[in-house]
Structure 1
Amino acid sequence: MSQKRVIIWGAGRIGRGFAADLFFSAGYRIIFIDVSRDLIEQLKRAGEFTIVRAESADRRDDLIVRDYDALAVAEVEAVSEAVADTDLIVLAVFPRDFGAVVEQMVAGLRQRHIQRPEAPLDIILCTNLAHAAVEFRARLSEVLPPDLRDYAEQRIGVVESLVMRMVADPPAAEREREPLLVWTNGNAEFPVDRHAFRGQPPRVSGLRLVEDMRAEEMRKLYTYNTCHAALAYLGALRGHDLIVDCLADPIVRSQVEGVLEEASWALQAEYGFDAKEMGAWVAKVIRQTDNPTLGDRVSRHGADPVRKLRRSDRLIGPVLMARKHGIPTPKLTRATAAAFLFQNPCDPGAAEVQQKVHQCGIESAVRELCELADSEADLVAAIVEAYHRLKASNMLEVQS
């Protein structure tokens, strides 16, 4: 039986550090495709690279990935042949690049349509965007010529996934020794939308077929992302630089555990997640975040509070979900208020929040940045009250 092939389109940290790990370990022949000719040349010259799976300070497992091919998108003929021949594509690029990627795929899709018109092609999207498949399908419809659109609809599966693995900057000495090395926490969990495949889902360790992708997206956003934001904003008030130091601070940890408990109740009420399963999930969120080898910083997880304060994002989103089900959220409300106190002169988003508070006052800033309606005035008032208490209480001394 011939070796299965997978194109990993996007040879950055997620492409190399997550997708390559799963598919190389499953016996696939990997073809990297990337817009960066320099990166592709690096991969060709090296012939191999290391993925570090550092689950904790004392648990590290290294995987060496080799025997791959690497193509720059400018190598049009070779890219077209690869698309025509592959069994699967994993797309690890930013959503803003979807249109460009589709344009780069067109010649290969046409060749595939001629040579293998009945063969399905599934494209798994590894990107942090809700409803990514809708966005990618829209780009397909815009870019593909009319004679390929029916083929794409019938034979091309666009599969949403969630990347649970954390990828961090490697220590300087490791990076100097091997520039292509990727440092991760080793999380192999890979939820994918079971209903989107046109062919058979790949048999890959960690891949989990999901019935309700929307529920899984919200669970990740309202636990992992909510936890990281709450740690950053509350930890910053305590003067911490590293996320692990925030978790080592009993005051911050207690607050964030309360944040996750409230978010968990909301998710259970909204989507029917089992309480025992959610308890194990939340424990895993804490365990995987409390990893000193990742070197995660408050500045990174707190970055761009303008985006993180939006109505459907990681702070106000779970508050509103809980509110819908009559669940009180004092800890989530406090974490949201802390975001309005986040100071980082190097972060334009943080500066924008502070400018908004200074110019308009905290009440108007909360209403505008959190996109809250007049009917939610009580929530605005609760956030404003928490803001004033945090500001006056010398770094979270008030916990009630």
Structure 2
Amino acid sequence: MSKKAVHFGAGNIGRGFIGLLEHEAGYEVVFADVSAALIDALNAQPSYRVHEVGESGHDHTVTGYRGINSAEHEDDLVHEIATADVVTTAVGPTILRFVAPVINRGIESRDPSAAPLAVMACENAINATDVLVGEMKKAAGDWQTIASRAVFANTAVDRIVPAQDPNAGLDVAVEPFFEWAVEQPPFGDEVPDLPGATFVPSLAPYIERKLFTVNTGHATAAYAGFAAGHHSIAESLADPAVADLVKRVQAETSTLLSRRHGLDPDDLARYREKILNRFAEPALPDTVERVGRQPLRKLSGPERFIGPAAALAEAGLPVDALVEAVGKALQFDVPEDPQSVELQKLLADLEPGEFVTQVTGLGSDHPLFGALTAVVADRQANL
């Protein structure tokens, strides 16, 4: 019996990570995207290549897929969801609210006797599937019916997919390493057939280990590299000052991970070393501007800097490196990135304390507030 996965987001991550793993698990992959040019290219080309860079990389050929323009052919997409086994997303956390209504329609159209649809949001955010479910509930007319015909599971995803060669077409360059952890309890004993995914009893350690080591470290390298005038992440990490800050930041977040989840410090040290080697891979031409984009989201309360720094400060533990990294983020001034433009406007318009509260959500009574206010004031003095 054939299997089908509907994947929202036919961009580089969708094609080079989740879509690839679904293809290799034997699913027919239906890519849904609002980009007419991208969907037309997918439907015109019977295959594309995923190239793993570096000495340990391999090439993969993806076939047996289709594309649907979700802006123009919603009814067709509803039918595909109604008859799918798996629905996944890689659209960005802020776009989940736009895909929620059509997922609702697809599940409502599902045969009640069919196996529940597995729904997993594969985004760079904590508990993104919960976010998707929240948006689906807002848009739902009959949530009980939808909830009875689907299973929702949070995931943690990790694979570096850098900016691509503009002449590559549908082909995607990625790093060889990947991790797709999915919480098992929502599925019980009936987990989806996805050999590329790891089903785990509790996702929290995986989510935070990835977010506070990979994402925090990557963003630190981007912001410190940008501030130092570097172009790529690899070039930034060749700068001893940038590399030192990234290492100190990751050492602080590892302290939190060890305390919160009982993760072994030696295992975390090896994990950090692996992550730094991934970032420094010269065959991954990732730019500081791409990695650093959307700085306001990355400086928000639960995210990669403030999340761990706030928890460490509440425990009375050092946060000097994380605060220094926040200071580097405040220097991210890229006119092409709307959040960067807004960040610089807020720095120009608000008092330091007002800025901290509005951007991070922390009040003046929080133990991290003073350090953040000082670093904001320092940035404002140099505008």
Q: TM-score range by the shorter chain?
A: 0.7 to 0.9
Q: CA deviation at 1:368?
A: 4.9
- Secondary structure of 1:31's counterpart equals strand
By how many angstroms is 1:191 displaced?
Answer: 0.7
Aligned equivalent of 1:265, options 240, 244, 255: 255
1:112 is matched with: 110
Judged with a 3 Å threshold, the aligned counterparts in structure 2 of structure 1 residues 202 and 337 are, in CA distance, closer, same or farther, namely same
Q: 2:363 aligns with which of 373, 381, 388?
A: 373
- 1:322: Cα distance to partner? 1.4
State which structure, 1 or 2, has the greater radius of gyration over its C-alpha atoms: 1
Letter in 2 for 1:66: T
CA distance in 2, matches of 1:368, 1:140: 27
Q: 1:95, CA displacement in angstroms?
A: 4.1
Task: Note closer, same or farther for the CA distance 1:45–1:362 as it changes in structure 2 (3 Å cut).
Answer: same
- Please name the residue that 2:63 is paired with: 66
How much does 1:351 deviate?
Answer: 4.3
Q: Which residue of 1 is the match for residue 15 of structure 2?
A: 16
Q: Which residue of the partner structure matches residue 144 of structure 2? A: 150
- Give the equivalent residue in structure 1 for 2:240: 250
CA distance in 2, matches of 1:342, 1:25: 39
Matched residue, 1:168: 162
Q: Counterpart of 2:277? A: 287
Which string of whole-angstrom CA distances, capped at 9 and with x for unpartnered residues, describes residues 81-106 of structure 1?
A: 43343222223334444454343345
SS of the aligned residue for 2:5 comes to strand
Distance in 2, matches of 1:364 and 1:258, equals 28
Moved more, 235-244 or 377-386: 377-386
Percent identical = 28
Contact 1:53 1:183 in 2 (8 A): yes
* In the alignment, structure 1 residue 122 sits paired with structure 2 residue 118: yes
**SS of corresponding position for 1:167:** coil
Q: Deviations over 1:145-177 (max 9, x none)?
A: 43xx3332233111221221122222244x2xx
Higher helix proportion, which one? 1
Q: Which residue of 2 aligns with 1:398?
A: none
Say if 2:323 and 2:371, in contact at 8 Å, map to a contact too.
no
How do 1:223-372 residues align onto structure 2 when only pairs under 5 Å count? 223-360=213-350, 362=352, 365-366=355-356, 368-372=358-362
Question: What is the one-letter code of the residue matched to 1:16?
Answer: R
Seen in structure 2, the aligned counterparts of structure 1 residues 230 and 387 have a Cα distance that, compared at 3 Å, is: farther
The question of whether the paired residues in 2 share the 8 Å contact of 1:123 and 1:157 is answered with: yes
CA distance in 1, matches of 2:238, 2:115: 53
CA distance in structure 1 between the partners assigned to 2:78 and 2:368 by the alignment: 57
Q: CA RMSD in A?
A: 3.1
> Distance between the aligned counterparts of 1:198 and 1:140, measured in 2?
23
Whether the 8 Å contact between 1:22 and 1:188 is mirrored in structure 2 is no
Kindly provide the amino acid, as one letter, of the partner of residue 213 in structure 1.
L
Kept in 2, the 8 Å contact 1:333–1:386? The answer is: no
Cα gap change, 1:66 to 1:316, in 2 (>3 Å): same
Matches within 5 A, 1:375-390: 375-376=365-366, 379-381=369-371, 384=374, 388=378
**Which of 89, 92, 99 is equivalent to 1:91?**
89
Whole-Å Cα distance in 2 between the matches of residues 327 and 93 of structure 1?
36
Whether the aligned pair in 1 keeps the contact of 2:100 and 2:136 (CA below 8 Å) is yes
How far the C-alpha of 1:143 sits from its partner, in A, is 3.7
The one-letter amino acid of 1:70's match is: G
Deviation at 1:348, TM superposition (A): 4.4
- The secondary structure found in structure 2 opposite 1:336 is helix
Pair 1:185-2:181 in alignment? no
| Structure 2 residue identity aligned to 1:93 | V
For the residue of structure 2 that corresponds to 1:8, the secondary structure is strand
Query: In the alignment, is the contact (CA less than 8 A) between 2:93 and 2:123 conserved in 1?
Result: yes
Q: Could you tell me how far apart the structure 2 residues matched to 1:317 and 1:106 are?
A: 32
Under a length normalisation based on structure 1, what TM-score does the superposition of the two structures give?
Answer: 0.83
Q: How many residues align?
A: 381
Change in Cα spacing, 1:354 to 1:35, as seen in structure 2 (3 Å) is closer
Counterpart of 1:170, as a letter, is Q
> Structure 2 CA distance, aligned partners of 1:40 and 1:353?
34
TM-score (norm 2): 0.86
Distance 1:344 1:95 in 2: 21
SS at structure 1 position matched to 2:115 = coil
Aligned counterparts of 1:159 and 1:257: Cα–Cα separation in 2:
32
C-alpha deviations, 1:237-291, integer Å up to 9, x for none?
A: 3221211111111121112101100111011112222222222221222122112
Which amino acid counterpart does residue 107 of structure 2 have in structure 1? L
Counterpart amino acid of residue 321 in structure 1: A
Distance 1:364 1:70, change over 3 A: closer
- C-alpha separation between the residues in 2 aligned to 1:100 and 1:351? 24
1:278-312 superposed Cα distances (whole Å, 9 cap, x missing partner)? 22221222122112233212222333433332333
Give the CA deviation at 1:16. 1.2
Structure 2 CA distance for aligned equivalents of residues 31 and 368 of structure 1: 40
What residue ranges of structure 1 are gaps of 5+ in the alignment?
Answer: 393-400
Q: Mark the runs of 5 or more structure 2 residues left unpaired by the alignment.
A: none
